[in-house]
Structure 1
Amino acid sequence: MAKKANKVEAERFLAMLLQYSRDGHFNHIIFSVRLNRNPAYTRQVMNVELKRISKKYGNDERAYVSMTAEDGSQILALINRLKEEMFSDNAEKIIWETDLLARHSQEFGYHQIRERDQYNNLEFELLL
């Protein structure tokens, strides 16, 4: 019997994602949590896409990772904590500080693209 894989470490994942997006000059990180409607199985899937809109570096859009929402639940919880901190300060952006980042801090904002619907689908983006 196969062992169940461990969940993704939220802080390490977010730090790597922010570092990669900064190095690649991406300015939007889009999270999409959707219900997979395959008749063989039904599960929540979380997709992370990077998007760049830039005259200097050109426009680009690429998939970063896809995982089950259960594996990414800690990532969503971390982003939710940061979002609540941002809204409690009435700020448009927040600075996240951690030793996992090469520069030890990253400024980003939160933008809701789609509210939760009846299938619990959710879509939001982090603005860098």
Structure 2
Amino acid sequence: MAKKTNKVEAERFLAMLLQYSRDGHFNHIIFSVRLNRNPAYTRQVMNVDLKRISKKYGNDERSYVSMTAEEASQILALINRLKEAMFANSAEKIVWESDLLARHEQEFGYHQIRERDQYDNLEFELLL
């Protein structure tokens, strides 16, 4: 019997991630979707890392979450919709409005680190 994967609620996840990164003074959120080549199984894994480059608060880098790409599909779709809206308006930053945010809106930039390759690996970052 196949297990049904639990998908993460995209808006709530992104709101919590943006709030946590803002409270911790992180200015880079790095998303990495890579193929995990474990001999027992092959699947894509999404890792989210937070990075801070700051003279005032110091430099720091930490892992926020790791999940399968299937579980993160709604998160990636939401970020893709925001990215498309940004490119459609020829803007350098995305303004995301949500009642889930304490500020009700958050502005952040999108930067592609690596394009999709033959294994469908992808890497990008959100700049706060």
Please tell me the TM-score bracket, short chain as reference: over 0.9
TM-score, normalization by structure 2: 0.97
Q: Distance in 1 between matches of 2:47 and 2:64?
A: 8
With structure 1 as the length reference, what TM-score do the two structures score?
0.97
User: Quick check: 112-121 or 1-10, which moved more?
Assistant: 1-10
Alignment deviations for residues 28-83 of structure 1 (CA, whole Å, 9 cap, x no partner): 00000000011110000000000000000000000000000000000000000000
Mapped to 1, the partners of 2:25 and 2:31 lie a distance apart of 18
Look up the match of 1:91: 91
Q: Which residue is equivalent to 1:11?
A: 11
> What one-letter code is carried by the residue in structure 1 that aligns with 2:109?
G
Instruction: State the AA in 1 paired with 2:48.
Output: V
RMSD: 1.1
Aligned residues: 128
Deviation at 1:101, TM superposition (A): 0.3
Equivalent AA in structure 2 for residue 112 of structure 1: Q
Aligned to 1:47: 47
Structure 2: stretches of 5+ with no match in the other structure: none
2:81 corresponds in structure 1 to 81
